[in-house]
Amino acid sequence: MGAIYSGEYRCLEIFAKSEDGKKSTVLVVGPSGKASVYPAGKWQYRLIKIPLEKNCGYEVRLENCTASICYLSEADDILDRGVCFLEYSDGNWRKTDNLKEWYQTPNREQYHFCPYKNWINDPNGLCWYRGYYHMYYQANPHSQEWGHMYWGHAASRDCVHWVHLPFVLMPQEEILNAKDRKGGAFSGSAVVLEDRIRFYLTRHFGPPDDSEEETVQYQTMVESEDGIHFGEEKTIVEKPNSDFSFNFRDPKVIRYDNCWQMVIGTRIKNVPSIVRYTSSDGENWKYGGVVLEEKTEGVYTFECPDIFPLSSEMVLTGAWMFYADEQRRFQPTYYYLGNYRNGRFEIRDRGLYDFAGNFYAAQSFEHEGRRIAIGWISDFYQEHCPEENGAYGSMAIPRELFMENQRLYIRPIKEIYRLKGKCYCNVERQNVRLKHLNNNSYYARLTFSANADFEILLGKSEVGEIRLVRKSETLQIVTTGVKSHYVQFVTELKELRELEIFVDRRTVEVFANNGECAGTKLFYGERDGIFEAEFEKEDAAEKIEVYEMKGIWR
C-alpha cells in the first residue's frame, strides 16, 4: 500500500476509474487500522472524497482502478494554502510540495494561470468575494483533451498569484454512469450577494455527436457560502421553443435597470442570437426576447456572451462559433458598443476583442471600480504539443477594460507588473539582439517617437518562428513552420506610440498604445527565450526595455 500523511488537511479527493469496466475500489486503512472501501467509477472517472484526521498517516491502495488527479483538501486556510496534489506510481504516493518545480517544463506558462495538468477551457464564475478573487473554469481533469466537463477552481488575493482549490461541479450522474453520453457542467457566471455567491451555468447532455433531436442544454443555479462547498443545483431556464437550436448556453447575469438580467448565447431559426431573461429575485426567470442578432455569413452560433456598463455605454461581447474571417482567423470573440434599451442592443461600433488567434470565451466582472476580464488561451489551430503531466490550455493575463476615444481599450491589470525581475535591456534608439533569456518568460516595453516599420523575433523552434511585425499602418503577429502559418493575425494601427509584449513559454501577448489593441498567440518554441528587434529607422525606437518575469507558483 502507499502511505499518505494528512498534515493540515481533513479530506483526500481521488478521481478513480475501473481499468476494465469491472468492480474496482480504493482501499483506505486509517491510523486505527480500520479499512474502508470506496467504489471507483465503472465507465467514467468518479470523484471519491475520503474524510481524514489531521496529522495522521493512512495507507491508500488503488485496486483494479486508475486515478487521474488526487489531492488533499479541507484545510482551515485552504484559500491561501490551496490543495496538496498527490501522484501515484508503482504503489507509492508522492506529494507535489513544490509547484514551482512541477511547472518547470519546456512549455508550461510561468506567470499565466495554468491547471495542475490536463485540459481547461472557458473561465467561469469570476468574482471577488470576502478578500479573494475566485476563478472557476471548465476542465477535463483526466487527459489533455476535451471531455466531460467539470468546474475547476482557483483563488487569489491579487488576481495574479493563484492557488488550486477542489473541483466544485461534476458531470451529471447519467453521464458518469454511461459509456456513450457527452456533456457536463458548461460555462456560466457568478453574482456575489451579501452572504453567498450565486452561480448560473449550462448543463449539457447528449450523444457523442451533437444533434438537434437528442442534445439538450439548459441553465441551472447553485449557491455557495464560501466558494468551495456548493449547495443543491436546480434547473431555472430551458429553451423556450423549437425555433431555438440546442445551442442554448453560457448564462451571464448582471443587475441592471432595477432587475436581474441574464444573457444567453443561442441560434434562433438559424440566426446566431443573444437573448435575455429577466428576474426580480434572481431565481425565477422570464424570457425577454432577442438582445442582438449577428447575420454575418459563416457564424454558426453565439456562445460565451457578456454584458456590462462601461462609462456611459453598454458593452456586449460574444464568441463567434465556427466562423473564419477574411484573414482566416477562426472563432474570434467580438465586442459591441452602444445602447441597451428595452431589451435590445443598439450597436454603435464593434470590433475584435483580440486580433490574434488564441483568445476566446472572455468573461468580465467588476471590483473596486475596475472592469476585469479573463479569457481562455485556446488552440483552435491544433498546435498543442503534449508532454507528460502537461496541460492543454491556460488563461490570458487578466485585463482591465475601459473606454477611451469612444472605443473599448484593453490593458493588462497593474498587478502583473509586480512580477518584473532583473533587467535584460534598457536602451534607446538602436536595434536589439537578446538571446538565451532565462526561462523564456519575459516582458518588453517599447516607446516610439515616430512611426517606423520593424520586425521583432519573439520565439524560435527547430522548424519555425514567431515575429511581431509593424508595416505601414498595421501590426501583425507572423508565424512560420506551424499549423497556423497561413493565418493573418493583423490589426490596423495608424499610429504606434507604445508597445508591450509578454512572452511566457508557449504564450505571447501583445498590447499597443495602452490598450488600443491586444493580441494573443501560442507558439511552442525553444526553452531559452529570444528577443531580436530590428527597426527600419533605429531612432524611431525611443526606448526599449526588457525584463525577466518571475513565476507565480510556489
CB-hemisphere CA count at 13 Å for 359?
30
- Starting at the edge strand found earlier in the chain, the sheet holding 234-237 runs 182-192, 197-206, 216-224, 234-237
Q: Residue 441 is which amino acid?
A: S
Report d(CA 520, CA 511) in Å as an integer: 9
Residue 306 catalytic?
Answer: no
3-state secondary structure of 81: helix
Do the beta carbons of residue 460 and residue 526 sit within 8 Å? yes
- Which residues, 6+ apart, have CB-to-CB distance to 544 below 8 Å? 425, 426, 427, 428, 430, 432, 444, 445, 446, 533
Closest CA to 133 of 520, 421, 417, 413: 413
Residue in the structure block whose three cell numbers are 506567470: 111
3-state secondary structure of 306: strand
Do the beta carbons of residue 484 and residue 381 sit within 8 Å? yes
Report d(CA 373, CA 377) in Å as an integer: 13
Do the beta carbons of residue 114 and residue 108 sit within 8 Å? yes
Question: Phi and psi of 433, rounded to 5°?
Answer: -135, 105
Report d(CA 40, CA 30) in Å as an integer: 19
Give the bridge partners for 198, in sequence order: 191, 223
Report d(CA 10, CA 55) in Å as an integer: 9
Do the beta carbons of residue 425 and residue 416 sit within 8 Å? no
Residue in the structure block whose three cell numbers are 456560466: 188
Q: Residue 138 is which amino acid?
A: Q
Spot the catalytic one: 77, 97, 122, 257: 122
Report d(CA 184, CA 204) in Å as an integer: 5
Provide the phi-psi class of 462: left if phi over 0, else alpha when psi is between -120 and 50, else beta.
alpha
**Which residue numbers are catalytic?**
122
